A and B are shown apart, each in its own frame.
Chain A
Amino acid sequence: MTDQPATPPTKDDPDEEPLLEIRGLRTYFFTRDGIVQAVDGVDLEVRRGEVLGLVGESGCGKSVTSMSVLRLISEPGRIVEGEVLFKGENLGEKSASEMREIRGDQISMIFQQPNASLNPVYSAGVQISEVFEIHEGLKRKLGVERAVEALRRVGISDPEQRAGAYPHELSGGMAQRVMIAMALASGPELLIADEPTTALDVTIQAQILELMSELQSELGMAIVLITHDLGVVAETADRVAVMYAGQIVEQATTIDLFAEPKHPYTVGLLGSIPVAGARRERLDVIPGQVPNLIEPDSGCRFASRCQARVDNELEICWTKLPDLIEVEPGHTVRCWLHQEVPE
């Protein structure tokens, strides 16, 4: 994980086409109360074999972003603008059946509640076997054999026995291992993991994170790790994108982001978490609350909570949204403090 290039290749770099490229994505929800601009102009790249952490608090749009990639947004939500390129191909132009194929084959996803995503009436072995049956045309018997192998690979002891277990017979950690086995059965190039350890106890979370990073270095797939937990990101991701109110506000390598956070929201977030074993008298506080995403103000989404805006007497923050610009190689920030304010 640490052998990523210090300066990430950009679009000008011909050798490295990003695996996934999101351009100007806007996903809105047309509700009775108004239009919720859940994702409002997200640009993001995921490179082959990297672990990208997508961080933010509830409602920031991190999950909606990933669901948009997979075209799993349903009414009243709609992708209103932007494109998603996977290996250079525009996913927006794919038919529903082509999309289904991509989802099952090249892009996999795991969720927070593994038990809710497994089918309760089929055993773990059969559910994994189905992936092999569909993708490799295997017969059930062979598929189940491969499923047992897959279960062994995700660290399930006694996999022959466990393959016959039904979801309700699995603990949370075990069910998440089954989900991972299933997600990886098709050999995907991209795994989207949406809060994969949030529902788990901390000692089980440690096991799952360890497993994911082992499998990642073994199989070399890229992972988009969606989480609210900065600790999880610090320990697993190569790069981090921080989301706030539907937009990416900062993006950098994990080392840079934690060493030199630039956006006031990122700074506030890092200061507000209690760190085990590093006690402080007081935790930093980000005053106020996340803004309403129905017709948000035209300025910076963070302006009303931003102490740096007050300290620097910046008025433009109220009226004009800053762009996400590169301030150092590979480090982008959406903040007027870090770019020239137009006259």
Chain B
Amino acid sequence: MTATDEPLLRLSGIERRYPVRSGALQRTVGEVRAVDGVDLEVFEGEAVGLVGESGSGKSTLGRVLLRLEEPDEGTIVFDGDDITHTPMRDLRRRRSQMQLIFQDPFSSLDPRTSVAESITEGLRAQGVGRKDRQKRLDEVLELVGLEKYHGRRFPHEFSGGQRQRVGIARALAVNPRLLVLDEPVSALDVSIQSQILNLLKDLQQELNLTLLFIAHDLSVVEHVCERIAVMYLGKIVEVASRDDLFDRPTHPYTEALLSAIPIPDPTRRRERILLQGDPPSPIAPPSGCLFHTRCPIAEEGRCEITEPELKPVADDSAHLAACLLRT
């Protein structure tokens, strides 16, 4: 990856707003800015993590970039093509190159369809013949660590971890270039979670896949992704390589997030940065820096007035943070 490379995915100024309705007549009384001006580039073969707490807009961003939801502002460029307004019919070819994996694959699998049929559904839609479909089915089952006979089974016969393997196999069947994973392991038990995380890491390296890994859990993302973006109230507040983010977190929110993760080592007691209160409502976001209401270092007369931009940290163009006091 060099600076001159064209990214596989480029998001610029993405905004997604929802109307807020209230009262008996369901009148629109305001709007929620679920995603509020996000720029992000993802390069081929890269695994990027998108981290944030509930309401940060990370899942909405994932759905918008796949055009499962339309952005209100901004552009989506995939592999050099602006697909922001591509009609759905023409988008289909692109869709097979961008696949989404959900938290609970069970809800997206048809209970009456065998796993083999579910996995090869996309291939059939592409007009791939029966023999080739069977061949690809065997390939992807092996890739995700399932046996051939698993194909003849039905979703309810699988455990949570196996279902997630089926979900991954289905996404891989159509040879995607970009895999968007929305909380792929958060419904799984820890001992199963590690199996899936290892699998994702192996697949990414073996197949040179590009991953956008959306999760609330920084330690999970850290295991798979080499670059991480942190979202707060619809905006990216920091983006950096994994090492920089963990060793030199710059945004006070990133710092607090890192220090809030409980560490399974009772001998390591840390100074915890305890944030006050809840995240503000995205219906009425604070002025200036969105984080100033909970920020332990906010300066009065500055942070509630000026909105910070994502800027390089200490002239490092790969490490960006949106903080008035630290960039």
Q: Chain A residues in contact with chain B, CB under 8 A?
A: 57-58, 157, 171, 173-174, 201-207, 209-210, 228-235, 254-255, 258-259, 268-277, 279-280, 282-286, 289-290
Contact = CB atoms under 8 A, between A and B. Distances in A.
Given A207-B275, A210-B274, A286-B191, A201 B266 contact: no
Interface of B: 53-54, 159, 161, 189-195, 197-198, 201, 216-220, 222-223, 242, 246, 256-267, 269, 272, 274-275, 277-279
Given A206-B260, A206-B275, A279-B242, 17 more contacts: A57-B191, A171-B278, A201-B279, A204-B53, A206-B259, A206-B274, A207-B274, A234-B262, A258-B265, A258-B267, A273-B194, A274-B197, A276-B218, A276-B258, A277-B222, A282-B201, A286-B191
A282 B223 CA distance: 8
8 contacts: A201-B53, A202-B216, A231-B264, A235-B262, A255-B267, A274-B220, A274-B222, A282-B201
Nearest to A173: B278
Given A203-B275, A210-B272, A232-B262, A58 B189 contact: yes
Contact of A277 (B216, B258, B274): B258
A283 B223 contact: yes
A269 B197 CA distance: 14
A205 B259 CA distance: 12
A271 B192 CA distance: 12
A175 to B, nearest CB: 11
B194 A203 contact: no
B263 A275 contact: yes
Contacts of A277: 219, 222, 246, 258, 263
B195 A231 contact: no
Given A203-B275, A279-B223, A234 B190 contact: no
A284 B261 CA distance: 20
Contact of B190 (A57, A210, A258, A282): A57
B266 A254 contact: yes
B194 A283 contact: yes
Contact of A202 (B189, B246, B260): B260
Contact of A234 (B161, B258, B266): B266
Given A209-B262, A230-B264, A274 B278 contact: no
B278 A204 contact: yes
A50 B137 CA distance: 54
* Pairs of residues from A and B, 4 with the lowest C-beta to C-beta distance, nearest first: A231-B262, A272-B194, A276-B219, A201-B53
B222 to A, nearest CB: 6
B196 to A, nearest CB: 10
Contacts of A234: 262-266
Given A174-B278, A203-B257, A285 B194 contact: yes
A35 B143 CA distance: 37
A274 B219 CA distance: 6
A203 B53 contact: yes
Given A202-B53, A205-B260, A289 B265 contact: no
Most buried by A among B259, B263, B275: B263
A148 B97 CA distance: 57
A205 B54 CA distance: 13
Contact of A279 (B53, B161, B222, B264): B222
